[in-house]
Amino acid sequence: MWRIVPASLGLALASALVAPARADPEPAEAIHAGVSIGVGTSYDLAGGRIELGSNHLSGFFGYGLLGAAGLKDTLSAPGGGGFCVGARWYRHVRRGLFVSLNFTYAWWSDYYSFDETSTSRPRTYPGNLFTATAVLGYRWRTEFGLVFEAGVGGGAYRHQEPLTTSAASPPPPGPAPRPTYGPIPDISLGIGFEL
């Protein structure tokens, strides 16, 4: 009998922790859409995002500085771009605790050397950056649809630097640099509006 009491208390405590804060009935499943601006990989470093989903799950697409200008330097050739995509789970209907899986991809080209910028047939070589992160956060939603979110997390990146040289007399192109891999921290800070 005394063994049942601690087990019952533990079960009651666990139920209270996972139960919603209010006993309001959850609305029927519906499609939701929203737009927001912010920082983090779910905003392509710093940019805008559109989101479409159900009460608890959604997908998003964004565009920001990482693809537009985040990886440009003095040897950058015209072109390139980038974007972010991801998926989210919300504990309550589009608010409260959330878990976000974020993926970014950016691509660009660099001239092989400074001399290539003034030739009619310049040699350019591609570079790219891919990130995959997970963020745990919280979203506040007003009755008018205004949303604020904050979260932290991390993941990994893969970076391929273009083949370039800064030599005064450029040698013939050699093999492309090896890609680098590593951990990356992530945040999600944003404000937006949701229907």
Using 50, 70 and 90 to split pLDDT, how confident is the model at 12?
A: very low
How far CA 42 is from CA of 10, 28, 48, 86, 148, in Å, comes to 37, 27, 9, 7, 14
Geometric angle at alpha carbon 69, from 133 and 63, rounded to 5°: 50
**pLDDT score of 144:** 92
Please count the residues of the chain: 195
Burial zone of 16 (CB within 10 Å; 0-12 exposed, 13-18 middle, 19+ buried): exposed
Average pLDDT, the chain: 85
Provide the pLDDT for residue 43: 94
Cα(103)–Cα(155) distance, integer angstroms: 10
Which pLDDT tens digit goes with each residue over 84-121? 999 999 999 999 999 999 999 999 888 888 777 778 88
Residue 195 reports pLDDT greater than 50 = yes
Mean pLDDT for the stretch of residues 16-45: 78
Q: What is the dihedral of CA 146, 150, 154, 158, to 10 degrees?
A: 40
pLDDT at 35: 97
- pLDDT per residue over 156-179, tens digit each? 999 998 888 877 778 888 888 999
